[in-house]
Each structure stands twice: as structure tokens, then as C-alpha cells.
Amino acid sequence: MKLSLIRKEEQPVGVWAGGTTTQLAIWPEGADYASRRFDWRLSSARVELEESDFTPLPGFHRILMVLEGAIDLVHEGVRTVHLKAFDQDSFEGAWSTRSFGRCVDFNLMTGPDWTGTVAPLRVTTFPVVLFQKPADRFEALYCLCDLALSAVHSGRVERLSLRSGDFLLMGRGKDKKPCLLFDDVPTSIGICAILTTIGKK
């Protein structure tokens, strides 16, 4: 299993029609988002205009979760949805989509051979163990608060101290049961991270 920690200040920030976007991870490594030659991509975006058009992404499936604020997504000819904090919508990148409202969101884009899930993580008891699955997929953690973790992989334990905005990616590897343990997190804040799983169909 490959473990990659990308600190908030290391994440590349770009511009789109409605605001800014921060790329958290893309696969294969080094793939070019602009040319649409990638299998999957994780990002967080700021929607700064009250009304904006989403970038067309034919051939890709999208999951969008609101982290802060609220928006209405209008999928032309399909449906309209209202999303507040930690609500999500799943839709096709080929759809003509317009947003109304301002927010910070979390995005998963997957190509035709890939699938994934996005879920908010609330920690109420300890210890919490994650990622105890066969290491044939990708698991990702996007931090919304400071976290103390222990990653068990490659026959060793690695202590990690994460801050809000940091991103942790656990990639496919030879470990049969890699896992991630939460050592400490402020339980009073509620949702502390966004958990993503990505795998082949």
C-alpha cells in the first residue's frame, strides 16, 4: 500500500468559471486534467459567483458534496436539487449543469471504468479503525479539523498529525489489511473529515 500525505499548502489551486478549484489527487499520477486524460480526480472548489455554469465533462461521472454554504444545482432537462452542508448529488459530467448560490464543495470525478463513494465522517468513540479492506482500491481522507492518526501498513505503524485541509491518500498495494486508526480528534466538532473510496468497476 502506498501512503501519500498532501498538506494544504502543497495542493495546486486553479481557476474555473465560477471560482477556484484545488486538486487533491488525480490518477494516474501526473495525468492532465485539462486534456481530460485521467481515470479519476478528487478536488475541492470554491463557488464564488452567485450563478455559474459547470465545466462540461462528457464521459465522466461526478459526485459533489457541499462542505460550506448552500447551492441549487440545475441539471437542464433532468432535475434540480438543493444542497446544504454535507448533502451530495451524483450526476453525469455531460449534463448541462448550472449552480445558484455560493459554497465550498468536494468533488469526485470518475471515468467509465471507475466508481466511487463520498461520505462525511463523524467520530464519536475511540479507537476508530478505517480502511480494513483488501488493498485493491484507493481510500482518501480529506481533513476538516486537526487529527492524530496511526497508519498501519507495510508491516509498520506510522504516526500522522493532520491539519484542517490536509489530504491523505492510501493507494493500492500488496498489504492485505492496511488500516488507519484515529488516535485523537475533537469529538465536539461533529463531522471531522470526508471519506472517499475509489475502485475499478
How far apart are alpha carbons 163 and 160 in whole angstroms?
Answer: 10
Using only the alpha carbons of the chain, give its radius of gyration. 17
Does residue 58 have a cis bond before it (omega within 30 degrees)? no
- Band of the pLDDT at 123, cuts 50, 70, 90? confident
What does the block give as the cell for 129? 479503525
Answer yes or no: are the C-beta atoms of 6 and 25 closer than 8 Å.
yes
Kindly list the domain boundaries of the chain, sorted by start residue: 3-112, 116-200
Q: pLDDT tens digits for 5-49?
A: 999 999 999 998 889 999 999 999 999 999 999 999 999 999 999
Q: What is the DSSP letter of 190?
A: S
* Model pLDDT, residue 57: 96
pLDDT score at 131: 63
> Can you give the pLDDT at residue 132?
54
Q: What is the pLDDT of residue 169?
A: 92
Whether 3-112 shares its CATH topology with 116-200 is answered yes
pLDDT digits (tens, 9 = 90+) for 155-196: 788 889 999 999 999 876 665 566 777 776 665 667 889 999
Question: Which tops the pLDDT comparison, 88 or 191?
Answer: 88
Whether this prediction's pTM lies above 0.95 is answered by: no
User: Shortest CA distance to 57 belongs to which of 91, 14, 86?
Assistant: 91
pLDDT for the residue numbered 151: 81
Q: Assign 31 to helix, strand or coil.
A: coil
Determine what percent of the chain falls in helix, strand and coil, rounding each to the nearest 5: 5, 60, 40
* Class of domain 116-200 (CATH, top level): mainly beta
Average of per-residue pLDDT values in the chain: 89
**Domain range 3-112, CATH class:** mainly beta
The whole-angstrom separation of Cα 115 and Cα 127 is: 29
Query: What is the DSSP code string of 81-97?
Result: EEE-TT-EEEEETTS-E
